[in-house]
Structure 1
Amino acid sequence: MRARSTALTTMCVAVLAASAACGDGGGQPTTTAAEANRRVEEYAVKVREALPANAKYDLYASEEHGDCSDPSDNGAKGRVIASRSYQVRGLPADRIPSYFDALRAWWQSHGFRVLDNTPPHEFLWVENTGDAFRMTLKANSDGELFVIATSPCVWPDGTA
């Protein structure tokens, strides 16, 4: 149960952090919620290129129209976020540092910048420099891995 709680907490942190990164949101057009969901899923699938082919991915949590009314970002009400959290199974826990290294290299070569890597080989958080979508790789003390993808705040239909 502790592992589920840790993963859920990590997902919530990633979602809230993505919300805070959205700026004021104003009335500026954004991508639609449908497009945000498509991209979140695309990133979550594409990043698998960096991990061994025998890895299995179980959908752990999903938000298609998650609330993006984080009061700390001073953003407009009514925006939403998309997110997916996958538990990665079937990989040896003793190789976790190599998975972090592989994902860091993959993300950096695919237009992402590192936002946080503390502690190393336990938490890695990145943001796409082109569209502000964020991803996280998290390992817990039980040797479980989670990959999380989150959109920035968007208007459901692309406009305020």
Structure 2
Amino acid sequence: MNLEQATRHVEDNLRSALTCLPARVRAERVACGPVPCDESADDEPVERFVASVDYRIHDVPPEEYGRCLDALLAWWSGNGFVVLTDARPRGLYVWVRHAVDGFQMAAQANDRGELYLTSTSPCVRSGGEPA
């Protein structure tokens, strides 16, 4: 899998997970881009990247965030993801990883009343060689 394919898979994961949220939900992509996996020496190029996409979820009142995380957790559990962190009830944060392909997702609410859904890939090489 190359970086372009990993980015498409990350987007597909996000779109699929959004189907478990209320129909009125609007998702806005707020960040997208490769993140280097490797520390680069002075003049050496970074060769491995993580595909990463962040969505801000709109049109859900903060009092419904807990139910949204419950729905996402149920969807993730039914689609091959395992829980890495579930910070509830103290915090509204859940982080999961797909048991087979290693792609990760997280949902988090912040103290400004915003809800985010993130998806990332494992490290991939930009050209698609094994990482």
Same structural fold, with TM-score higher than 0.5 when normalized by the shorter chain: yes
Richer in strand (by share): 2
Identity score, percent: 33
Residue-by-residue CA offset, 1:62-104 (whole Å, 9 max, x unaligned): 11x3211159xxxxx5111111000000011111111111100
Equivalent residue number for residue 151 of structure 1 = 121
Partner Cα separation in structure 1 for residue 112 and residue 67 of structure 2:
17
Richer in helix (by share): 1
SS at match of 2:19: helix
Equivalent residue number for residue 79 of structure 1 = 48
> Does residue 137 of the first structure (1) align with residue 107 of the second (2)?
yes
Unaligned runs of 5+ in 1: 1-30, 72-76
Instruction: Please give the residue correspondences for 1:104-115 in structure 2 after superposition, counting only pairs within 5 Å.
Output: 104-115=73-84
Using structure 1 for the length normalisation, give the TM-score: 0.73
- 5, 10, 26: which is aligned to 1:56? 26
What amino acid sits opposite 2:105 in the alignment? M
Unaligned runs of 5+ in 2: 41-45
Partner Cα separation in structure 1 for residue 29 and residue 101 of structure 2:
23
- 83, 87, 92: which is aligned to 1:118? 87
Partner Cα separation in structure 2 for residue 102 and residue 143 of structure 1:
19
Partner Cα separation in structure 1 for residue 67 and residue 57 of structure 2:
14
Using structure 2 for the length normalisation, give the TM-score: 0.88
What amino acid sits opposite 2:7 in the alignment? N
Shift in Å, 1:119: 3.9
Residue-by-residue CA offset, 1:126-151 (whole Å, 9 max, x unaligned): 00111000000000112210000000
RMSD: 1.6
SS at match of 1:50: coil
What amino acid sits opposite 1:109 in the alignment? G
Which 4+ residue blocks in structure 1 deviate beyond 6 angstroms? none
